[in-house]
Chain A
Amino acid sequence: METLSKYSVSFGVSLAITSILSALLVVVKELNENSVLAWMKGLTSHHWITHGLLMMIAFFALGWGLAKMNNGEGLKMTPERLVCVIASGVVIGGLIISGFYLVY
């Protein structure tokens, strides 16, 4: 069986999760302009900068954390499954963002 490095798997899963988190943050901040959006604007002067920074931090923190699982061996997953997880995360994230702005 072809195996992937622990960083490929861990950061790949992190990419999928962070993509969906990013899309959900779009919905939450747009629906809560006076609280979440205002807080994000206050943090870096623009919510978009804060959004990008938060997602990068989440991506690296989650990827690093997943790589430390299983006594440092990281997550195990077949390449086919990882591709499916990444593609699903990105497509679902894109659909959430597009769908939200279509109706919002």
Chain B
Amino acid sequence: MTEIVLMAHVLFGMLCIVGGVWLFVDVLHANEANQGRIRTMSIAVAILMWLAYLVGGYWYLTFYAADKAIILKGPWPFAHSFFMEMKEHVAIMLLLLVTYLPIAAASNTAVNKGARKLVLWVVGLIVLIGIAIDGAGAIIGIGAKVALMAAKG
């Protein structure tokens, strides 16, 4: 059960990043024909990030305490003290960005160059922060792994 919850968290996060890249390319080539898809994708990216946050939050509050104790006793305590602490709070900024995205994408990006620039920047920030958070998650996983290996001897 724990692993499924954790994998769902990563899956939703990765789909949010992939959706963000899709949206970025679509907005770069904005025209009247793809306006509907741009708005739909902006909502999809927001929903995927919210799902990643809610599932990850459930896992964090329910299962993470045991992992945290193991990580802090291992050779990579910074995997929790820096990367997890940073990740859980930067994620709130990412939530704000994805919640804002459909508001920005509601404008016609085919005719309004300013709106297009705005959406490109917001999506770009979402993708970059998403990748950074994904990397932090990987370091937290390795932190637990090296702690278990050290305990085993």
Contact = CB atoms under 8 A, between A and B. Distances in A.
A80 B113 CA distance: 10
A93 B103 CA distance: 21
- B: interface residue count bin: 20 to 34
Given A15-B97, A48-B60, A59-B99, A4 B89 contact: no
Interface string B100-132: 100110110000111101100110010001000
Interface residues of A, number: 36
B151 interface: no
A19 B96 contact: yes
A42 interface: no
A89 to B, nearest CB: 9
Contacts of B125: 86-87, 90
Interface of A: 2-5, 7-8, 11-12, 15, 18-19, 22-23, 26, 46, 48-49, 51-52, 55-56, 59, 78-80, 82-83, 86-87, 90, 93-94, 97-98, 101-102
27 contacts: A2-B112, A3-B114, A8-B104, A8-B106, A8-B115, A8-B118, A11-B100, A11-B103, A19-B93, A19-B96, A22-B89, A22-B93, A46-B61, A51-B92, A52-B53, A52-B92, A59-B96, A78-B114, A79-B115, A83-B117, A83-B121, A86-B118, A86-B121, A86-B122, A87-B121, A93-B93, A101-B85
